[in-house]
Copies of this chain bind each other. A is one copy, B any other.
């Protein structure tokens, strides 16, 4: 008959004729314990099939080796790569991830934050939902000094760190690139300005126009959910514009909208990039399938996730201090592809 009770440190202690306290220390390689007893403990643990009980441990020690991850959606290329990066970092350092999605809904974000808090995560990694206005719902974390790291869609906050890229610079560069290709009426497809990423991309776009003495026109700035539908709608909008007002380029704040806009315009007979050039953002897999391939900004979700998680863990381990670094900016590289090349290269 199989024993049903768990194997505890007491079993190991009894087996070795030492105290449970010693076993507890030995198990975590506490240097206070002699090398020899530590070895014996490790062996006994293995042979008895001991598995530490994380609840007992968490209950007593008040930390859980678990990080909460709160994202808008799990199923986007960027987000799932970011998660993969976090999982990697966490796994490497003996941490686990509890993951929840807000589905772009603030209310669900609030509920999830509460759950994470309740589950006593050691730290929180969060990317805000589309329409989150403020971060009151994170107050419990701040109050208890549970470190919070924002990534991608961040929020300015003195006591936490943000991990992302320089969206303004990236948007500036990509717009400048379009200008250098001879485009003069560049349209921008943007997202909700509540989110820094879209706000900054718009700013970079406007700055580039300004620096090149091109006017900003409200008629060439569309804002929306950047979905497939939004991309197709933008195309309709463009086609409905009188010929002389039509943009000669589109810079979209994400690849999805760019690609579906392209597809619709192509169906309508426009040539890309001859009639209208395109640039997107994210380097999503679809950007390499659309023809012509889409010029875009490449930045690795994997790196962002990895960096954010590693940084959080280092903070938890006392190796670094979150509160001294407000932002970590990773590099983003422009990937120039045929969709934006009006001046054919040699």
Contacts and interface: CB of A to CB of B under 8 A. Distances in A.
A54 interface: yes
A195 B74 CA distance: 25
Interface in A269-315: 285-286, 289-291, 301-302
Interface in A48-106: 51-56, 58-59, 64, 66, 73-77, 79-81, 83-84, 87, 91, 96-101
Interface of A: 2, 51-56, 58-59, 64, 66, 73-77, 79-81, 83-84, 87, 91, 96-101, 112, 115, 117-120, 143, 259, 263, 285-286, 289-291, 301-302
Q: Which of A80, A84, A291 has the most CB of B within 10 A?
A: A80
A83 B87 CA distance: 14
Nearest to A290: B289
Contacts of A96: 98, 100, 115, 119
B74 A119 contact: no
A285 B231 CA distance: 15
Nearest to A79: B80
A87 B64 contact: no
B53 A59 contact: yes
Nearest to A117: B51
